[in-house]
Amino acid sequence: MKITEKDVRYVAALAHLDLTEKETAQYVAELDSILTYVEKLNQIDTSTVEPMAQVLHKAAETDALREDRDRQGFRQEQSLGNAPESGAGHFKVAKVIAR
């Protein structure tokens, strides 16, 4: 086995994903077969290959940063408009620090 139930639970916790028992068992089996499949990459010697993080085309580089000028942003009510819970101009969540 490439991946165990403990691994799936650990990774799900890192990703803040609540999984049921059934889901956990299913993902263990499915990820095991996917991870076994992707092992085939080890057939290739990549010791002299640079990793490619972005598409490499010959276009001139564009400025990644815009000119630092103020521009119209969202109004507060727009930003809060989709919040499940808001009040007094804030996003509201459950208590973070327990007494």
Partner 1 sequence: MSLDISNWKIEDVLRSLRSRETTATEICQASLARIAAENPKNNSLITVTQERALARAAAIDRMAASGERLPPLAGVPVAVKDVIVTEGTRTTCGSRILENYVPPYTATAVERMEAAGAIVVGKANCDEFAMGSSNENSAFGPVRNPYDLERVSGGSSGGSAAAVASGMAVAALGSDTGGSVRQPASFCGVVGLMPTYGRVSRYGLVAYASSLDHIGPVGRSVKDVAVLLSAIAGHDPLDSTSAAVPVPNYVSELDGNLKGFKIGVPREYFAEGLSSGVRTQVEAGLQALGKLGCEMVEITLPHTEYATACYYIIATAEASANLARYDGVRYGYRAPGAASLSEMYQKTRGQGFGAEVKRRIILGTYVLSAGYYDAYYLKAQKVRHLIAADFSNAFEKVDAIAAPTAPTPAFRIGEKTANPLEMYLSDVYTLPGSLAGIPGISVPCGWSSAEGDGGSSSEIKKLPVGIQLLGKHFDEARLLRLAHQFEMAGGVA
* Residues at the interface with partner 1 (CB under 8 A): 3, 7-8, 11-20, 23, 27, 30-31, 33-35, 37-38, 40-44, 46, 49-60, 62-66, 74, 78-79, 81-85, 91, 93-96, 98
Residue 92 identity: K
Angle at CA 91, nearest 5°, toward 94 and 12? 55
* Distances, alpha carbon 78 to alpha carbons 1, 71, 82, 90, in Å: 49, 16, 8, 12
- Which class for 97: exposed (0-12), middle (13-18), buried (19 or more C-beta within 10 A)? exposed
